[in-house]
Amino acid sequence: MLSLVRCLGPTADKEDEMEAQNNKPVHAAPNQGQRFLLVGAELITFKLRGEDYSVFEDATQGGYVGPPPHRHLRQDEGFYVLEGEFTFHVEGEAIPAMEGAFVNVPEGSLRSLHTFENTGTGVGRLLGIVAPAGDFEEFVEEVAERVSVDAPPTPPSEPPDADTISRIVAAGERHHLEMPPPPGEQY
């Protein structure tokens, strides 16, 4: 008989989940997983953290203008729109994406600079997959706040201050995420 690993909610640790991915089927119920609030706006819930890939839900409120444009130097990142309306910006191209749409951004190529925004009026939810696992997840652990909330907050009205941006960019470098400054600006 197969042994099914059930994620134990917000307290499940990544070692248990890595072991689960490699050896057993995994079940993560709604509202289960490690939750982080990134830059006060993105509620990221890791459903599975493994060696080969990780799966997470990224929930934001309508009007969220998105993370800074960035590229993952060692990870492919895919997004499936579960709920809401988004616009993805990949190397300057705007890609509207509604429920059921999928956007894949390959690792580190010149075509991989990307961001997204929640262009809807309510909560939008994305299913994200990064492969191979590691860099993005560790970046989130370093810069985001561990939380137990079930819904994303209203996005901050002001962008992060210079110290916060410097801290995020430095963490990105450590975790192989490149965040070039906007044209004409420096970090």
0.85 exceeded by pTM: yes
Residue type, 93: E
- Using an 8 Å Cβ cutoff, are 180 and 113 in contact? yes
**Could you name the CATH architecture of 10-178?**
Sandwich (2.60)
- Using an 8 Å Cβ cutoff, are 61 and 118 in contact? yes
- Using an 8 Å Cβ cutoff, are 172 and 180 in contact? no
Spatial distance between the Cα atoms of 36 and 169, rounded to a whole number of angstroms: 18
* CA trace torsion 134, 26, 33, 153 (10° rounding): 90
Q: Is the pLDDT confidence value at 125 over 80?
A: yes
Q: How confident is the model at residue 17 (pLDDT cuts 50, 70, 90)?
A: low
- Using an 8 Å Cβ cutoff, are 24 and 1 in contact? no
Based on DSSP, count helices (H) and strands (E) in the chain, helices before strands. Answer: 3, 14
**What pLDDT is attached to residue 16?**
55
Residue with tokens 């499940």: 12
Spatial distance between the Cα atoms of 137 and 51, rounded to a whole number of angstroms: 11
pLDDT, tens digit, 9 for 90 and up, residues 140-181: 999 999 999 999 999 998 888 999 999 999 999 999 999 998
Q: Is the pLDDT confidence value at 76 over 50?
A: yes
Q: How confident is the model at residue 92 (pLDDT cuts 50, 70, 90)?
A: confident
